[in-house]
Amino acid sequence: MEWIIDIEGVTWIQGKRTLLDDVSWRVRRNEHWALLGLNGSGKTTLLNMINGYFWPTKGRVTVLGRRFGEVDLRELRQSIGWVSSSLQEKLYGSDRTQLVVISGKFASIGLYEKPSPEDFVRAERLMAKLGCSHLWDREYRTCSQGEKQKLLIARALMAEPKLLILDEPCNGLDLFSRERLLSSIDDLTRQENMPTLIYVTHHTEEILPAFGHTLLLRRGEAFRQGATRDVMNSETLSDFFEAPVMAERHNGRFYVRLAEGNAVDWNE
């Protein structure tokens, strides 16, 4: 299986709205990608498509070597970890953190099956990898937003997915919490036997050097894709954001600011 994601000419129409328009995207095994787009660009729609919750109006979708229409999507989803902040609200606040992590093995909200000793060992290792071992045996609701995101990532890894999607994991975090979480994600990408990662964001500076490829999504269209170093430049991003910006690289990450002497009319 060479391609983890193989999307060809996908269009998705809801009512009179075209939310994805002729999108093609290929992701190789162990090739970590960033998916960058502003709010309303179609990122969540594309993720729902990859997970088989939406069916393309046109085009072809193959995930983990399994073509849609020829695979049980419920079975396929067991090999995909999707971490989103919306999941935080569904979990039980009184559950102990290690049980939240272990519940990922069973893809359940809450833990209804008796964990094995090996499950506890694996949960402990995953929490250590993400730098949150100190949260062991805490109530989930007592953890900070950033700590909860680390636990959700550990929970997703509990099921040993082949594809891990981090859907705007830094949303709502302050600067320091964001950097701590990004540092944990960076450490994670260096671990052996890691799944292919897709990092979804609308902030360029969150794209770590480990995400060597980037897809720019705008108004449901694949605006540009390729090596991150080739995509993240002032000219391309000015066209993408439809505003004059300057892209500056610091420590392998790209920071964008409005070009001097230019202003954006936010009322347009």
The span from the CA of 196 to the CA of 178, in Å, is 22
Residue from 205, 242, 193, 258 nearest 34 by CA: 205
Of 14, 9, 74, 26, give the one whose Cα is nearest residue 226.
26
pLDDT < 70 regions, the chain: 1, 88, 110-111, 261-268
| pLDDT tens-digit series, residues 46-101 | 999 999 989 999 999 999 999 998 888 888 888 999 998 777 677 777 889 999 99
Listed in sequence order, the DSSP H helices in the chain are: 43-50, 73-77, 85-88, 97-106, 117-129, 145-157, 175-189, 228-231, 234-241
Domains defined for the chain, CATH in brackets: 30-48+66-79+165-268 (3.40.50.300), 86-160 (no CATH)
Tokens of 38: 């502003």
pLDDT of residue 261: 58
Which residue carries 């519940």 as its tokens?
103
Identify the sign of the CA torsion 216, 46, 153, 148. Answer: positive
- DSSP letter at 161 equals -
pLDDT for position 105: 86
In the DSSP assignment, the letter for residue 34 is E
For position 265, what pLDDT does the model report?
47
**Could you tell me which residues come within 8 angstroms of residue 263 by beta carbon, excluding any fewer than 6 positions away?**
none
Longest dimension (CA), the chain: 63
Residue 120 has what pLDDT?
93
CB count in 10 Å sphere of residue 61 = 21
Measured CA distances, 189 to 8, 107, 111, 118, 209 (Å): 27, 23, 28, 24, 10
Dist. CA 44–CA 168, nearest whole Å: 10
- CB atoms inside a 10 Å sphere around CB 82: 22
Please report where in the chains the tokens 């290792």 appear, as a residue.
Answer: 125
Distance (Å, whole) CA 212 – CA 226 = 9
